[in-house]
Structure 1
Amino acid sequence: MILAAYDWLRALHILAVIAWMAGLLYLPRLFVYHCSAIPGGELDSTLKLQEQRLLKIIMNPAMIAAWIFGLLLVWANAERAGSWAVFVSFAWFGKFALVSVMTGLHHVLALRYKRFQDGSNDWPDRHYRILNEMPFLAAILIVFIAVVALR
């Protein structure tokens, strides 16, 4: 049954990853701007609201959906191959590890979001500029693994 839905699972996984990546790339950029906002000012309030909506409405559901549809795709591929042994490889381990790193980065950003919400951010904008590049670097590696190494 799950094999019959493979194309739908793949489409939903790709859409979830796109939404998740958009958030992982945009939230640190908002944090860069937030570092220069005056606490309690209009920009501070606007950025808090934008960050909250991005994290709660887009990023969290997209991350969960990306994981669910990704794991269902693994299951469908195992069903198609007739064995789970196909997933015991360096490429699959690498992809899983990189997606786990992106999930960890998501949680770091969620913790930093809480710091901005309560006015206790202690990182300079430079930290967020660096964090802003990490999801894309991980995504490059994940895509090459998924497209080239896992054919």
Structure 2
Amino acid sequence: MLWLKAFHIIAVICWFAGIFYLPRLFVYHAMAEDQATRNHLKTMERKLYRFISPFAVLTIVFGALLVAPNIDYYLQAGWLHLKLLFVIGLVAYHLYCGHLVKIFANDNNQRQHVFYRWFNEAPVIALFAIVLLVVLKPF
């Protein structure tokens, strides 16, 4: 069980590292004025998204494996239900980032860098909520 927990935490850290950095690349991309810089950022965005996507899957798989042995307890744990809502939100955020990677790859971005600066804050809120829920188990 400790191995699963360790791998779950490692996958979460890797996923979040990318989910924090990818929108920052979007900020730079939206601000870029020359095509060479935009092309370089397209490559970085594509490679980072491909790198973090398996960690998103591993996070969910290891999390599910941690819950499975004590499913009766977790079905009653309100904190876990709320945590899972945040995880679902993060998965949606991750998928939307993939959509944005394609938009930037096709030079179809219509948003300014300010949007992406605010967009970049959403996973921070989710991270705080998830960690507090897991550690404090308030209900």
Q: When the two structures are superposed, what TM-score results if normalisation uses the length of structure 1?
A: 0.87
Task: Give the Å deviation of 1:85.
Answer: 4.3
Relative to structure 1, the CA distance from residue 150 to residue 71 in structure 2 (aligned partners, 3 Å threshold; closer, same or farther) is: farther
Task: Give the Å deviation of 1:100.
Answer: 0.5
Q: Is the 8 A contact 1:29 1:129 kept in 2?
A: yes
Number of the residue aligned with 1:126: 114
Deviations 1:3-30 (A, max 9, x none): xxx1110010000000110111100000
**Stretches of 4+ moved more than 4 A in 1?**
none
Q: Pick from 7, 12, 34 the counterpart of residue 29 of structure 2.
A: 34
Q: Give the letter aligned to residue 97 of structure 1.
A: L
Write the distance in 1 (CA, Å) between the matches of 2:74 and 2:30: 47
Structure 2 gaps, min length 5: none
Write the distance in 2 (CA, Å) between the matches of 1:14 and 1:85: 21
Structure 1 gaps, min length 5: 1-5
Number of the residue aligned with 1:3: none
Residues paired across the two proteins, number: 139
Structure with larger Rg? 1
Alignment of 1:47-86 (within 5 A): 47-57=41-51, 59-76=52-69, 78=70, 84-86=72-74
Q: CA RMSD, aligned part only? A: 1.6
Q: Give the letter aligned to residue 117 of structure 1.
A: A
1:113 lines up with 2:106 in the alignment? no
Q: Give the letter aligned to residue 68 of structure 2.
A: W
Q: When the two structures are superposed, what TM-score results if normalisation uses the length of structure 2?
A: 0.94
Q: Is the 8 A contact 2:67 2:74 kept in 1?
A: no
Number of the residue aligned with 1:102: 90
Q: Give the letter aligned to residue 23 of structure 1.
A: G
Alignment of 1:83-94 (within 5 A): 84-94=72-82
